[in-house]
Amino acid sequence: MSKGRITRVEQQRRLKLLLEFVFIFRYATKKELLYFSQNVIKLAYSRWLVENAQKQGYLKVCYIPDFKLNIYHLTEKAKAFIYEQESLVEHYRFDNRYAGKITLLKHTIQVETYFILYKYFNIDIRNFLCDWALRIGLKYYERQPDALAVLPSGLKLAIEIEGFFLELAGCKKRIELCKYDVEKAHKYDAVLFITPDRNRCDGLEKRLFFLEPEFCKKAVMFSDLHTLKHGGCFYQGASKDLADLPDLIKTEEVNK
């Protein structure tokens, strides 16, 4: 191998990581791909990897005119390339309807949340699943969280994204489902509700605490995207550091 050249094995490893990232979130913007390449794969020159993946036929671009935005999704060639690493890849489908106003907002928060969890907990991309993958094999009416993250500590954290105001009836249904999933079904250990801004975060926190105060004290955290980016969240009515999350949630107490 010439000095400064990477091996074929290393090239394939980097490409597979990039494609797995797209798989997890179903699609990605150029900005998201570059950020992942730079901060997770640790490439100094990330643009080449993204552009070469497209050139080699692993990524396809779809233009969303409503937002004047290009998004990248997997091709059949890419699915075949990561088949051994991603057992669910046969279920992968892309439709530009996945990038509508509501779904694009949710997608953006899902990706941002992963990057933040990676920053604070070094979470493996394979330990972060979005709702589309969590619903595989379930009935259409069986709801799953918007994402599920498994931290290195073993803590299973459900991510619930509330992009719009949720009425009290909707809040009641949502928190009852979360309580069942934690205390009865043991699907995850805690829930992190994320909103786009602080006002909606405060309102949601008040409504959910009103409905299920004891459960919220044990297993529910809140944050808006700005606070989350700065490593913060709200737990038991107080501001907390996101890095302390595994110590805040006592799994054995939640599951009693």
Domains by residue range for the chain, with CATH: 1-99 (1.10.10.10), 100-256 (3.40.1350)
Q: Encode pLDDT of 109-166 as tens digits.
A: 999 999 999 999 999 999 999 999 999 988 877 889 999 999 999 999 999 999 887 8
Exposure string of 177-209, with b = 16+ CB inside 10 Å and e = fewer, is bbbebbeeeeebbbbbbbbbeeebbeebbebbb
State residue 163's pLDDT score.
84
Q: How many CA atoms lie within 13 A of 164 on its CB side?
A: 6
Res 88 pLDDT > 80 = yes
Query: What confidence tier does 85 reach under pLDDT thresholds 50, 70, 90?
Result: confident
pLDDT in tens, 197-230: 999 999 999 999 999 999 999 999 999 999 999 9
In this structure, which long-range contacts are made by residues 159-162, counting pairs with CB atoms below 8 Å and at least 24 apart in sequence? 159/110, 159/113, 159/191, 159/192, 159/194, 160/191, 160/192, 160/193, 160/194, 161/106, 161/109, 161/110, 161/193, 161/194, 161/195, 162/193, 162/194, 162/195, 162/200, 162/204
Mean pLDDT, residues 63-90 taken together: 91
pLDDT attached to residue 167:
86
Segment 4-32 mean pLDDT: 93
Q: What is the pLDDT of residues 23-32, one digit of tens each?
A: 999 999 999 9
Other C-beta atoms closer than 10 Å to the C-beta of 115 total: 16
Question: Contact 172/166 with Cβ under 8 angstroms?
Answer: no
Closest-CA residue to 90 (of 98, 82, 102):
82
